[in-house]
């Protein structure tokens, strides 16, 4: 299903099991609403999929928020765009009649960064998150309460775009907020590998709290 009436060009694919989680799929720079649909199906075959397209263009490439340079984010824009995305998610839950309490973010690169920002700024929106190639998006004005929120970070030891220390800082920040963080390192760069996807799939399958009642 494809709509633009909720403020974002997006796709929604109902889940095979109505009680299964909904995956909020957030693409990287240059991606679109179709990019991560296959990834979502690999991670949780029965889940519903909600996949918006970023509204910011950088040399024609869609992103979810502006950056001033590589690794330097426009925090004012990031805060506003994160609030806009949170509203989209709530509106989509009403429009597509799914339980927003079962929403799991799956993001890659720029999409992972805005998902991390949503955890930090709007902690009530996401039930869990799988973040591939994420970095610290910003320091929130106050630390949120992420108690009971499982977060999976998959990072590349040889990622030239994200220094490993930055990913470690994000893991520490989320843990200090109470999140249950798993940080998985891979001997890769910024590219995503099938082994990483499989590891994330296995991690998701062991998060019993996400599937209670399904």
Strands 10-13 and 2-3: antiparallel
DSSP 161-213: SS-HHHHHHHHHHHHHTT-EEEEEEES--SS--HHHHHHHHHHHHT-GGGSTT
Catalytic residue among 17, 74, 91, 190: 190
- Greater confidence (3 vs 182) lies with 182
What CATH superfamily classification does 2-210 receive? Alpha/Beta hydrolase fold, catalytic domain (3.40.50.1820)
Note the pTM of the prediction, 2 decimals: 0.94
| Residue 74: active-site member | no
> Could you tell me whether strands 103-108 and 128-132 are parallel, antiparallel, or unpaired per DSSP bridges?
parallel
Mean confidence (pLDDT) of the chain: 93
pLDDT higher than 80, residue 52: yes
Each residue's pLDDT tens digit, 148-192: 999 999 999 999 999 999 999 999 999 999 999 999 999 999 999
pLDDT of 202: 96
What is the model's pLDDT at position 69? 79
**Which residue among the candidates 159, 206, 209, 214 is catalytic per the annotation?**
159
The answer to whether 10 is a known catalytic residue is: no
For the chain, the structural domain boundaries read 2-210
Beta partners for residue 13, in sequence order: 49
At 2 the pLDDT is 53
**Predicted pLDDT at 193:** 94
Structure tokens at 77: 């824009």
What integer is the mean pLDDT of 49-69?
93
**Alpha carbon distance 53, 27 (integer Å):** 7
pLDDT of residue 35: 97
The pLDDT value given to residue 4: 58
195 is catalytic: no
pLDDT band at 214 (very low <50, low <70, confident <90, very high): very low
What pLDDT, on a 0 to 100 scale, did the predictor assign at position 212? 60
Question: What does the alpha-carbon distance between residue 39 and residue 161 come to, in Å, rounded to a whole number?
Answer: 22
% of the chain beyond a pLDDT of 70: 96
Q: What is the pLDDT of residues 116-143, one digit of tens each?
A: 999 999 999 999 999 999 999 999 989 9
Q: Out of 10, 109, 145, 198, pick the active-site residue.
A: 109
Is pLDDT at 71 greater than 80 in this prediction?
no
Distance between CA atoms of residues 170 and 135, nearest Å: 6
What is the C-alpha end-to-end distance of the chain, expressed in Å? 23
């Amino acid at each position: 299903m494809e709509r633009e009436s909720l403020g974002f060009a997006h796709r929604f694919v109902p889940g095979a099991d109505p009680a299964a989680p909904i995956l909020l799929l957030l693409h990287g720079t240059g991606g679109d609403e179709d990019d991560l649909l296959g990834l979502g199906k690999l991670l949780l075959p029965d889940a519903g999929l909600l996949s918006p397209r970023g509204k910011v263009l950088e040399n024609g490439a869609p992103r979810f928020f502006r950056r001033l340079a590589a690794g330097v984010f426009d925090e004012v824009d990031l805060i506003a765009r994160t609030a806009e995305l949170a509203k989209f998610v709530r509106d989509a839950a009403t429009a597509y009649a799914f339980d927003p309490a079962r929403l799991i973010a799956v993001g890659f690169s720029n999409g992972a960064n805005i998902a991390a920002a949503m955890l930090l700024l709007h902690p009530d929106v996401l039930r869990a998150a799988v973040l591939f190639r994420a970095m610290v998006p910003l320091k929130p004005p106050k630390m949120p309460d992420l108690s009971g929120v499982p977060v999976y970070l998959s990072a590349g030891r040889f990622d030239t775009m994200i220094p490993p220390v930055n990913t470690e800082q994000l893991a520490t920040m989320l843990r200090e907020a109470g999140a249950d963080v798993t940080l998985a390192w891979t001997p890769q760069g910024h590219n995503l590998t099938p082994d990483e996807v499989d590891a994330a799939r296995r991690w998701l399958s062991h998060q019993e709290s996400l599937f209670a009642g399904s």
